[in-house]
Amino acid sequence: MPDIAVYPGSFDPITNGHLDLIQRALKIFDRIIVAVATNAFKKSLFTIEERMEMCRVSLADYPTVSVDTFDGLLVKYATGQKARAILRGLRAVTDFEYEFQLAMMNRRLEPELETVFLMTGLRWVFLSSSILKEAAVHGGDIAGMVPEIVFQKLREKFGLLK
């Protein structure tokens, strides 16, 4: 049975930091499911369909990575996918407290499901989807921080592509 990890997130949008984490996690897991969350309480820039498309295109070169969507409890989704782990990235100490709380709640709900934390690559430690969108909306040069499809979609979204 393959070792499967679920990598959940809003991926609004997916960044090169996410891709770096996935590439490194593939050295640990046989298969990774990028699980794009549909969170009714969070306002997203991109629709769920747009986010999934950007993820699929960005991950097309990785046959053992699939993209799916989920709503509701992550642990229920992960166990339904026969995953043995939830994959999470940590950028800085500020991420740790929130991620620790989530991991402990997930363990309480589903004790057999582990949470695996990977530190973000040093090159991407500053990068978050929120910071990226803030730079893009003001015309900042985000080239090289996101896959090409995301770069184009952000330019379109903010009217920077003529």
Pairing of strands 4-9, 85-90: parallel
CB 129 within 8 A of CB 12: yes
Confidence of residue 160 (pLDDT cuts 50, 70, 90): low
Beta-bridge partner residues of 85: 5, 114
User: Which are the catalytic amino acids?
Assistant: 18, 42, 91, 129
Q: DSSP class of residue 83?
A: -
With contact defined as beta carbons under 8 Å apart, do 15 and 146 qualify? yes
When pLDDT is averaged across residues 20-39 and rounded to a whole number, the result is 96
- With tokens 């709380």, the residue in question is 101
What's the pTM? 0.94
Coil, strand or helix at 158: coil
Cα 55 to the center of its chain, rounded Å: 9
Q: What is the pLDDT of residues 67-93, one digit of tens each?
A: 999 999 999 999 999 999 999 999 887
Q: What are the tens digits of pLDDT across the range 96-148? A: 999 999 999 999 999 999 999 999 988 999 889 999 999 998 888 899 999 99
Q: Between the CA atoms of 57, 59, 62 and 63, what dihedral angle is there, to the nearest 10 degrees? A: -60
Question: Domains in the chain, start-ordered, CATH in brackets?
Answer: 4-134 (3.40.50.620)
